[in-house]
Copies of this chain bind each other. A is one copy, B any other.
Amino acid sequence: MPTYHIEMMEGRTVEQKRKLVEEITRVSVEVLGGSPEYVDIVITDIKRENWATGGKLWLERE
């Protein structure tokens, strides 16, 4: 509370995730207040065969 769910294309490194959750938490506390310990973040890695934009899977777009 607040809770963030982040959907991103698979392939990001743990280092990128580590940095991202640190920054998102900092920004969240700055803007919304509260303690960092109340900020929960869940990341979902999406496979290219499971994300589509404009009617085409990303597997086929690139």
Measuring CB to CB, which residues of chain A are less than 8 angstroms from any residue of chain B?
1-9, 12, 14, 16-28, 30-32, 35-37, 39-46, 49-60
Chain B CB within 10 Å — which of A5, A12, A55 has the most?
A55
CB neighbours of A42 from chain B (8 A): 3, 7, 46, 50-52
Instruction: Show 25 residue pairs from A and B whose CB-CB distance is below 8 angstroms, ordered by the A residue.
Output: A1-B51, A2-B8, A3-B6, A3-B7, A4-B7, A12-B32, A17-B52, A17-B57, A18-B57, A19-B31, A20-B27, A21-B56, A23-B27, A24-B24, A24-B27, A24-B55, A36-B54, A40-B40, A40-B51, A41-B52, A41-B53, A42-B50, A43-B52, A44-B50, A45-B50
